[in-house]
């Protein structure tokens, strides 16, 4: 196994609101215009080792897609740096440019991510030909091989995306990414838009590809259940920060952060108690706006065990065994 790994060091991303001319004039005149910055990602550091799948889990709006785009080198962070094999991939700058093809991405929406005017074979072969990984003559064999690996018939190469279901399109998107022979695959909610039965098939495909190819992955999902099947390690994100990270067995078996515990409790499960169906216990409250995050620990307004210290002091990630939690009350 190569020593390739992805390292994010103190990565932050802020989005400033884009104001219209009218809003800028109103703001200059002291009018009531929203000019606050969104802190989408706030000082995240993490590493992914070769052959490892790291799951990134959190509620919608907590910054997962933004962090995934920075990790994939397709968005510049406001601060911090991403390194692949120790070599900087992307850092802060006005003109973010993807500097590497060694990281490929699979997105949530298989309907939006494939060009409807291109045949499936051309969609898969385009990148490898453009980057000199395969000659035009050898491209058909490469396409056939990858269609087979993702469970599609090689004869589908001449078809167009509209002729496929959502699950089949996601298989094509996975083939397109893997045909580039990436060192790391970043998957952003790749099963979220699919029916539950199709989700299971695509989760099984990822498991099979991991076994066959030793894939290294950053696997983003709001669904702890999906991540549990696929990932060795899991990072829990809340309002731009990683609040807990560690080996999957530790995170699921012995969660240390109250937010991780709340997320695990809110996974829908059918428990029969005294003849009553206890369906699920949603997390109390809503994710606060990233425009005005709570001081101290971002989770304190929803935390059942918050103390005064949590309202003023940001907890650092503290390691204990195979996991780290950012909670003043976490055991060390």
Ligand X SMILES: Nc1ncnc2c1ncn2[C@@H]1O[C@H](COP(=O)(O)OP(=O)(O)O)[C@@H](O)[C@H]1O
Chain contacts with Mg ion (rule: CB under 5 A): 65
Indicate which of ligand X, Mg ion, none lies near residue 128 (CB less than 5 to 8 Å, by partner kind). Answer: none
Indicate which of ligand X, Mg ion, none lies near residue 15 (CB less than 5 to 8 Å, by partner kind). Answer: ligand X
Of 193 and 322, the one with the shorter C-beta distance to Mg ion is 193
Radius of gyration of the chain (CA): 22
* Smallest distance, ligand X to C-beta of residue 260, A: 16
- One symbol per residue from 22 to 61: x for binding ligand X (CB under 6 A), - otherwise; what is it? ----------------x-x-----------------x-xx
Indicate which of ligand X, Mg ion, none lies near residue 216 (CB less than 5 to 8 Å, by partner kind). Answer: none
* Smallest distance, Mg ion to C-beta of residue 74, A: 14
How many residues form the binding site for ligand X (CB under 6 A)? Answer: 12
Joined tokens for residue 142: 């490469």
* Smallest distance, Mg ion to C-beta of residue 128, A: 28
Element (H, E) at 116: none
- One symbol per residue from 56 to 95: x for binding ligand X (CB under 6 A), - otherwise; what is it? --x-xxxxxxx-----------------------------
- Rounded-to-integer distance, Cα 308 and Cα 152, Å: 57
Of 290 and 296, the one with the shorter C-beta distance to ligand X is 290
Indicate which of Mg ion, ligand X, none lies near residue 62 (CB less than 5 to 8 Å, by partner kind). Answer: ligand X
State the residue for tokens 């996974």: 267
* Smallest distance, ligand X to C-beta of residue 232, A: 22
Indicate which of ligand X, Mg ion, none lies near residue 63 (CB less than 5 to 8 Å, by partner kind). Answer: ligand X
- Rounded-to-integer distance, Cα 187 and Cα 110, Å: 12
Of 65 and 199, the one with the shorter C-beta distance to ligand X is 65
Q: Among 156, 166, 11, which residue's Cα sits nearest to residue 92?
A: 11
**CA 106-83-100 angle, 5° bins:** 50
* Smallest distance, ligand X to C-beta of residue 233, A: 18
Indicate which of Mg ion, ligand X, none lies near residue 151 (CB less than 5 to 8 Å, by partner kind). Answer: none
Of 41 and 310, the one with the shorter C-beta distance to ligand X is 41
What is the footprint of ligand X within residues 273-292 (CB under 6 A)?
A: 290
Indicate which of ligand X, Mg ion, none lies near residue 199 (CB less than 5 to 8 Å, by partner kind). Answer: none
Element (H, E) at 254: none
Extended strands (E) in the chain: 6-15, 38-48, 53-57, 79-84, 87-90, 103-106, 184-188, 217-221, 233-238, 241-247, 271-273, 276-278, 318-320, 323-325
Strands in 318-320's sheet, in edge-to-edge order, are 103-106, 184-188, 217-221, 53-57, 233-238, 241-247, 323-325, 318-320
**DSSP-derived secondary structure for 285-316:** S-PPPTTSPPSSSTTGGG-TT--HHHHHSPPP
Joined tokens for residue 116: 């409807």
Q: Is 298 in the site for ligand X (CB under 6 A)?
A: no
* Residues near ligand X (CB under 6 A): 15, 38, 40, 58, 60-66, 290
């Amino acid at each position: 196994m190569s020593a390739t790994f992805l390292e994010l060091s103190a990565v932050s991303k802020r989005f400033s609101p884009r104001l219209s001319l009218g809003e800028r004039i109103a703001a200059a005149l002291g009018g009531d215009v929203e000019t606050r910055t969104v802190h989408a990602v706030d000082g995240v550091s993490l590493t992914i080792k070769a052959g490892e799948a790291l799951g990134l889990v959190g509620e919608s709006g907590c910054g997962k897609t933004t962090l995934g785009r920075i990790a994939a080198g397709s968005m510049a962070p406001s601060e911090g740096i991403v390194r692949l094999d120790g070599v900087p991939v992307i850092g802060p700058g006005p003109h973010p440019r993807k500097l590497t093809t060694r990281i490929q991405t699979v997105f949530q929406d298989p309907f939006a991510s494939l060009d409807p005017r291109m045949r499936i074979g051309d969609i898969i072969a385009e990148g490898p030909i453009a980057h000199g990984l395969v000659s035009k003559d050898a491209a058909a064999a490469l396409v056939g091989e990858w269609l087979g690996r993702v469970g599609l018939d090689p004869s589908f190469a001449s078809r167009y995306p509209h002729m496929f279901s959502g699950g089949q399109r996601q298989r094509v998107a996975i083939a397109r990414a893997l045909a580039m022979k990436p060192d790391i695959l970043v998957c952003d909610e790749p099963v979220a838009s699919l029916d539950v039965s199709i989700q299971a098939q695509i989760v099984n495909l990822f498991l099979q590809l991991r076994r066959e190819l030793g894939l290294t992955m950053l696997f983003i999902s709001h669904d702890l259940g999906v991540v549990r099947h696929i990932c060795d390690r899991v990072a829990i994100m809340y309002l731009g920060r990683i609040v807990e990270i560690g080996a999957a067995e530790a995170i699921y078996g012995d969660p240390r952060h109250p937010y991780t515990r709340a997320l695990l409790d809110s996974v829908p499960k059918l428990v029969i108690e005294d003849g009553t169906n206890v369906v699920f216990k949603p997390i109390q409250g809503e994710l606060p706006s990233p425009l005005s995050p709570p001081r101290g620990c971002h989770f304190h307004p929803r935390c059942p065990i918050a103390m005064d210290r949590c309202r003023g002091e940001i907890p650092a990630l503290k390691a204990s065994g195979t996991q780290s939690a950012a909670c003043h009350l976490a055991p060390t």
